[in-house]
Amino acid sequence: MASHDATDPQRRVIIIGAGVAGSLAARRLAESGIQVTMLDPALPFPLDPERRGALYMKPAVDYNPETRLAHQAFLAAPEFYTRLQTEHPEIDFWSGTGTLSLAWNEREQQRQEKLLARNQWNPEFLEPVDSDRASLLSGLELGVPGLWFPGGGHIRVDALRQAALSHPLIRVITAVADGGRIQPDTDFWRLALPEGGTLEASTLVVATGAATNEWAPNLPLGRIRGQLTTLPATSAAPKVALAGAGYALPPFHGRVCVGATFDRDSGLGTPDAPSDRANIENLGHWLPALAGQLEENHDPGHWVGFRSTTPDHMPVAGHLNDRFVLAGLGGKGLMYAPLLAEHLTALISGSPSPLPADAAQRVSPLRFFKS
């Protein structure tokens, strides 16, 4: 680990937001020897077992810039999660089961066929499988082919956040971050500490997801509600993460997770029964082998969050005005966050970025302000 002077504000960073993006940015910075103070009103203590997610991607038919970035991110993510899991075996968050993307209808089957015809993929990243192999991998009678991503898997999100924040150079503060607590000075940011006194840091990182507009009001970020549903597992449960017109995750503590809704016009921050019903009905369209059993269950669990989205479907990671921003990851935060956290750390520390120069420009918040 690099040497660190805890009294030097030049070696301190304040991060607002301890979601996946903020927590992983804190971890990457701490691993580079930089002291991090993290502020969030809802840190992952205690853990919410209902909040889960899949590591998956949907490559475009043509290998466009968005797919190239997603490809790089998808390769980086399981490597990071496996290392972090090894460093924190006491916190069970990562299940590297692989992810199976199903050709669940004729349109998706045609899309996958074009994708395979136009690109040469390394089978360690992506492998086409017929219906028999898909059924064997998943543990369900599927009757459809798909794309197998061996590096995929599923994640217990709050446990991931806890593992990421478990570093001696990361301090976590449960508090609302606002202008009264964090203020810019001539050379540094000043943070009013809950116990009194202030902390100075050279750098402020905003990673507040769908609330990022409060700190970067000029960014064209959207906000889309998503509710996921968990139900008691039956004898027929997936063995791998499954993706189609949604996702279905293997049991954890005896519960299968399905979702998530895509509610563009809803600001409802609490779970509701119609969203649970929508998740089960949607599952019936693309994974009837599982939906038929789960729909008989009447003990749903749920979790609600809001995706941060951008008009060009590319994430935001970079310097804007006097702060850094990490946002706009949409529904792909578990895939993008490890790579973009490393990129942001490189920008802050002055080390080489893992992103090619054109990719760094494409994710920069400054792209929205070019004439």
The one-digit pLDDT tens for each residue of the chain (371 residues) are 233 344 566 689 999 999 999 999 999 999 999 999 999 988 777 788 889 999 999 999 999 999 999 999 999 999 999 999 999 999 999 999 999 999 999 999 999 999 999 999 999 999 999 999 999 999 999 999 999 999 999 999 999 999 999 999 999 999 888 877 898 988 899 999 888 889 999 999 999 999 999 999 999 999 999 999 999 998 889 999 999 999 999 999 999 999 999 999 999 999 999 999 999 999 999 999 899 888 777 788 999 999 999 999 999 999 999 999 999 999 999 999 999 999 999 999 999 999 999 999 999 999 999 76
CATH of the domain at 14: 3.50.50.60
**Count of alpha carbons within 13 angstroms of residue 332, beta-carbon side:** 24
Give pLDDT, residue 115: 97
**CA–CA separation, 65 and 85 (whole Å):** 30
* Residue pointed to by tokens 């996958």: 112
Boundary residue ending a domain (294, 309, 324): 309
Question: Is there a single domain that holds both residue 40 and residue 173?
Answer: yes
For 125, the domain range is 99-150+222-309
Sequence-ordered list of residues with C-beta below 8 angstroms from that of 121, at least 6 positions apart, any chain: 127
The DSSP 8-state label assigned to residue 117 in this structure reads H
Q: 203-206 and 52-55: which strand pairing?
A: unpaired
Tell me, what's the pLDDT at 210? Answer: 93
Among 309, 342, 357, residue at a domain's last position: 309
Residue 295, C-beta contacts closer than 8 angstroms, at least 6 positions apart? 280, 284
Could you tell me if 216 and 109 lie in one domain?
no
Amino acid at 269: G
Here the CATH number for the domain that contains residue 285 is: 3.30.9.10
Distance between CA atoms of 320 and 297, rounded to whole angstroms? 48
Q: Name the one residue in this structure whose structure tokens are 């507040």.
A: 208
Look at residue 17 and tell me if it is in a domain. Answer: yes
On whether both 289 and 315 belong to a single domain, the answer is: no
Which of helix, strand or coil describes residue 2?
A: coil
**Assigned domain for 85 exists:** no
Residue 66 lies in a domain: no
**206 and 250 co-located in one domain:** no
Q: Is residue 93 part of a domain?
A: no
Identify whether residues 260 and 232 lie together within a single domain. Answer: yes
> What single letter denotes the amino acid at residue 93?
F
What's the rounded Cα separation, in Å, for the pair 304 and 229?
A: 9
Neighbours of 149 (CB within 10 A): 24
Are 195 and 263 contained in the same domain?
A: no
Are 183 and 248 within one domain?
no
Whether residue 254 sits in one domain with residue 281? yes
List C-alpha distances in Å: 234 to 250, 290, 296: 11, 9, 10
Residue 168 shares a structural domain with residue 131: no
| Count of structural domains, the chain | 2
Buried b (16+ CB within 10 A) or exposed e, 188-202: bbebeeeeeeebbbb
What pLDDT, on the 0 to 100 scale, is given for residue 8? Answer: 61
> What residue has token string 């999660």?
81
Its pTM stands at 0.94
**What are residue 113's phi and psi, to 5 degrees?**
-65, -40
How far apart are the C-alpha atoms of 35 and 45, rounded to whole Å? 21
* Torsion angle in degrees (nearest 10) through CA of 97, 209, 83, 59: 50
Q: How far apart are CA 204 and CA 217, in angstroms?
A: 16
Which of 263, 289, 309 is a domain's end point?
309
140 and 239 belong to one structural domain? yes
Establish if 53 belongs to a structural domain.
no
Q: Whole-angstrom Cα distance, residue 39 to residue 167?
A: 15
CA 65/CA 118 separation, integer angstroms? 15
Q: Which residues contact 324 (CB under 8 A, 6 or more apart)?
A: 203, 204, 205, 206, 318, 344, 347, 348
Is residue 246 domain-resident?
yes
* CB neighbourhood size of 8 (10 A): 11
CA angle 12, 13, 18 (to 5 degrees): 140
My answer on whether 296 and 238 are in the same domain is yes
Asked if residue 292 lies in contact with residue 142, where contact means CB atoms within 8 angstroms, the answer is no
Q: Is residue 68 part of a domain?
A: no
Q: Give the pair of three-digit tokens for residue 233.
A: 């597992």
Looking at the structure, tell me whether residues 273 and 287 fall in a common domain.
yes
Cα angle 227-231-236, degrees, rounded to a multiple of 5: 125
Assess if residue 64 is contained within a domain: no
